[in-house]
C-alpha cells in the first residue's frame, strides 16, 4: 500500500486572481507559479477564479463546460456558468456571473472598493464548492488564498458539513496580506445564509463587523503565510492588524513558506521583452537594457548616472509616503528615477506632481504594464521597496535575478531574502533599513549610490544577487509536505 507521501495529491485552489488571466498584484503570480511547480512534482491542480471581464478571451480561449451552479446569496439565488482552460498542466475553472464580475476592476476602482464586495465573494466562495460537486472533483486539499476565499472553510464546516463528497477534504488557508481582511458591516450577515450563532468573537464577528479573512483563520485545518518572517510578525500587535490573538491561538497550525518567482518567465538570459540577454557572467547586456529603457521612457541616456526604479501598488503599505519624503533628496544627487504603478489616487497625483519638477530625471507612469515591468527590472540599477510591511514581496527577487540591487525595509519576506552587503567581505545582495523613517531609508539609498561608483564591488554585489535561487522549487516541496501532513490528520493517520 502506498504511503501518504507517495500518493498523488489532488489539489483544488481558490483565489481571486491568477496570472496571466487577471492580476492586480503578487497574489496572481503566486497562484500561477505555485500551481505550475506543484504539477511538475506530480500533483493534480485545479484553480478556481471569477470570470472577470478583464480576462482576454482572444488570447486565452475559455471553453464552456456545459455546467452551471446556483447558490443562495441572502434570500435570492445566483447562478454561474463554469468555463475552463488548461495552461502548463494546471486546470483552470472560471465562474461567470456578469452581475458580479463584468466590471472595470477586480475589487474596485481608484476611488475605492465596490460596495457589494461581500455579496460578490459570498457568491464566489459558495460557487467554488458547488462547482467542485457538479464537476465531480474530489480534492484531497482545498487551498484557499486571502480574504476573498476565507468563507470557503467556513461553508465547508457549516452549510456543507453533511455533503458526502466533502468529508475527506482538508483545508489550507494562506494569508498573503493580513492588511486586507474583507471586513463588512453586520447588516451584510444575511448574505451568508448562516445562523447568527456564527456571528461571535470565536467565529466571524470582528469588532461588531463581519471578517471574511478571520473565517479562514478560524475554520481552516491549517494556516500558512508567505514567508517565515511574516509568520512571526503577524502574531504581534505591530503587524497583526487586531488578529494577532487569533493567530497566536493557532500558532501550532501556522506555517511560514517563502514564495518563489517563475524563473522561466523572469530570466534575463531568455527574456523576450528586454533589449539584450545577459546573465551573471555577461553583464554587458544589462548596460544595453539600461540604454534602451532610458530611450523608451524619455530619460537622457547616461550610462554613469544611477537609475532607480519602483514597480508597486501605490498604497500606504508599500511605503509610498517615504518615497514622497525622499524624492527631492534623491533628485539632488543627480540620479534618475522611474516609477511604475497605480493605486491610491492621492499618491498617484503626488508622484506625478513630483516628477513634473524633474522632467529630465524622473518618470512616473500610472499604469499596470507587464512588458515595461520586465524592461525596468532589466534596465534599472537600483530597486526600492520601503514597505511598511511586506508579507513576502516578489519584486525584490525579480530584481535580484536581473542584477538590479534592492534597497528594502527589513520586514517580512524582504528581510528573509535580502542580506545587507558588506563592502569588505563582498557578502550580501542588497541594502536594508529597519526603522520606518525617511532618514533611515535615504541613508541606505546613499550607501547604494556610493557603492555604484565602485564598479568592481558593484559587479560583485550584482552577481551575488543573480546567483541566488528564487524559484518555486523549495517552496513547492514545503507546500506538498504540508498538504500531506494535513491530509494525514484528516484521515486520522500518524
Taking the C-alpha atoms of residue 270 and residue 263, their distance in angstroms, rounded to an integer, is: 10
CB 94 within 8 A of CB 47: no
**pLDDT score, position 19:** 92
Q: Where are the domains of the chain?
A: 4-260+473-491, 284-466
Pair 268, 285: CB distance under 8 Å: yes
Selected residue with higher pLDDT from 95 and 262: 95
Q: Model's pTM, two decimal places?
A: 0.91
Percent of the chain residues topping a pLDDT of 90:
94
For residue 53, what is its C-alpha cell? 471581464
Q: What is the DSSP secondary structure assignment for residue 97, as one 8-state letter?
A: -
pLDDT of residue 100: 98
149: which DSSP letter?
G
Is there a common fold for 4-260+473-491 and 284-466?
Answer: yes
Provide the pLDDT confidence category of residue 7 given band limits of 50, 70 and 90: low
Residue 332 CB coordination number (10 Å) = 10
Give the residue-averaged pLDDT of 333-343.
96
Beta strand ranges found along 100-169 (DSSP E): 108-109, 112-113, 141-145
Cell of 29: 503570480
Cell numbers placing 8: 498523488
pLDDT of residue 111: 82
Q: In a 3-state reduction of DSSP, which class is residue 432?
A: strand
Residue 210: Cβ within 10 Å count? 25
Count of alpha carbons within 13 Å of 74, Cβ hemisphere only?
A: 11
3-state secondary structure of 230: helix
How confident is the model at residue 209, as a pLDDT?
98
Q: How far is CA 412 from CA 400, 434, 474, in A?
A: 17, 11, 18
| Percentage, residues of the chain above pLDDT 70 | 98
Check whether 4 has a pLDDT greater than 80. no
Q: With respect to CATH, is domain 284-466 assigned 3.40.50.2000? A: yes
Query: What pLDDT does residue 348 have?
Result: 96
CATH T-level fold of 4-260+473-491: Rossmann fold (3.40.50)
CA distance 409 to 353: 25
> Residue 1's pLDDT band (boundaries 50, 70, 90)?
very low
* Phi, psi torsion values for 80, nearest 5 degrees: -145, 140
pLDDT interval class at 3 (50, 70, 90): very low
Mean pLDDT over residues 371-395, rounded?
A: 97
pLDDT in tens, 72-125: 999 999 999 999 999 999 999 999 999 999 999 999 987 889 999 999 999 999
Largest CA distance in the chain: 71
* pLDDT (mean) for 153-161: 97
pLDDT exceeds 80 at position 492:
no
Distance, CA of 449 to CA of 334 (rounded, Å): 10
Query: What pLDDT sits at residue 489?
Result: 86
> Is the per-residue pLDDT at 6 higher than 50?
no
Q: CA 141 → CA 45, 47, 222, distances in Å? A: 10, 12, 11
Mean pLDDT for the chain?
A: 95
Which pLDDT tens digit goes with each residue over 48-81? 999 999 999 999 999 999 999 999 999 999 999 9
C-alpha cell at 206: 470582528
pLDDT at 493: 60
SS3 269: coil
Amino acid at each position: 500500500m502506498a504511503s501518504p507521501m507517495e500518493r498523488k495529491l489532488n489539489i483544488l485552489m481558490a483565489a481571486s486572481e491568477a496570472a496571466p488571466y487577471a492580476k492586480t498584484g503578487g497574489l496572481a503570480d503566486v497562484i500561477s507559479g505555485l500551481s505550475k511547480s506543484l504539477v511538475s512534482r506530480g500533483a493534480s491542480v485545479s484553480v478556481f477564479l471569477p470570470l472577470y471581464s478583464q480576462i482576454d478571451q482572444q488570447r486565452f480561449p475559455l471553453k464552456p463546460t456545459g455546467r452551471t451552479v446556483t447558490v443562495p446569496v441572502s434570500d435570492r439565488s445566483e447562478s454561474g456558468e463554469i468555463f475552463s482552460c488548461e495552461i502548463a498542466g494546471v486546470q483552470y475553472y472560471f465562474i461567470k456571473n456578469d452581475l458580479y464580475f463584468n466590471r472595470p476592476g477586480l475589487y474596485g476602482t481608484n476611488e475605492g472598493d465596490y460596495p457589494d464586495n461581500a455579496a460578490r465573494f459570498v457568491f464566489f466562495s459558495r460557487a467554488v464548492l458547488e462547482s467542485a460537486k457538479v464537476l465531480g472533483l474530489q480534492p484531497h486539499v482545498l487551498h484557499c488564498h486571502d480574504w476573498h476565499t476565507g468563507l470557503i472553510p467556513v461553508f465547508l464546516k457549516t452549510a456543507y458539513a453533511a455533503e458526502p463528497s466533502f468529508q475527506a477534504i482538508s483545508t489550507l488557508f494562506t494569508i498573503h496580506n493580513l492588511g486586507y481582511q474583507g471586513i463588512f458591516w453586520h447588516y451584510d450577515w444575511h448574505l451568508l445564509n448562516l445562523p447568527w450563532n456564527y456571528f461571535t468573537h470565536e467565529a466571524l464577528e470582528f469588532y461588531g463587523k463581519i471578517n471574511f479573512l478571520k473565517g479562514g483563520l478560524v475554520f481552516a485545518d491549517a494556516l500558512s503565510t508567505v514567508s517565515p518572517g511574516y509568520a512571526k510578525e503577524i502574531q504581534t500587535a505591530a503587524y497583526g492588524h487586531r488578529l494577532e490573538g487569533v493567530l497566536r491561538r493557532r500558532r501550532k497550525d501556522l506555517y511560514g513558506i517563502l514564495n518563489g518567482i517563475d524563473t522561466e518567465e523572469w530570466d534575463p538570459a531568455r527574456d523576450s521583452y528586454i533589449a539584450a540577454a545577459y546573465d551573471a557572467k555577461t553583464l554587458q547586456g544589462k548596460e544595453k537594457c539600461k540604454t534602451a529603457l532610458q530611450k523608451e521612457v524619455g530619460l537622457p541616456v547616461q550610462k554613469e548616472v544611477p537609475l532607480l526604479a519602483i514597480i508597486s501598488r501605490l498604497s500606504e503599505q508599500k511605503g509610498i509616503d517615504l518615497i514622497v519624503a525622499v524624492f527631492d533628496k534623491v533628485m539632488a544627487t543627480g540620479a534618475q528615477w522611474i516609477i511604475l504603478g497605480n493605486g491610491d489616487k492621492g499618491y498617484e497625483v503626488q508622484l506625478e506632481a513630483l516628477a513634473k519638477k524633474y522632467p529630465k530625471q524622473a518618470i512616473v507612469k500610472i499604469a499596470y504594464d507587464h512588458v515595461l515591468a520586465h524592461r525596468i527590472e532589466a534596465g534599472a540599477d537600483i530597486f526600492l521597496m520601503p514597505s511598511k510591511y511586506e508579507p513576502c514581496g516578489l519584486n525584490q527577487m525579480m530584481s535580484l535575478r536581473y542584477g538590479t540591487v534592492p534597497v528594502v525595509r527589513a520586514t517580512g519576506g524582504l528581510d528573509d531574502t535580502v542580506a545587507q552587503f558588506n563592502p569588505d567581505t563582498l557578502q550580501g545582495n542588497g541594502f536594508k533599513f529597519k526603522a520606518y523613517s525617511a532618514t533611515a531609508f535615504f541613508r541606505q539609498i546613499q550607501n547604494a549610490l556610493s557603492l555604484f561608483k565602485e564598479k568592481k564591488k558593484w559587479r560583485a554585489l550584482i552577481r551575488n544577487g543573480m546567483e541566488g535561487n528564487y524559484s518555486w522549487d523549495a517552496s513547492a516541496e514545503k507546500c506538498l509536505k504540508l498538504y500531506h501532513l494535513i491530509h494525514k490528520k484528516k484521515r486520522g493517520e500518524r
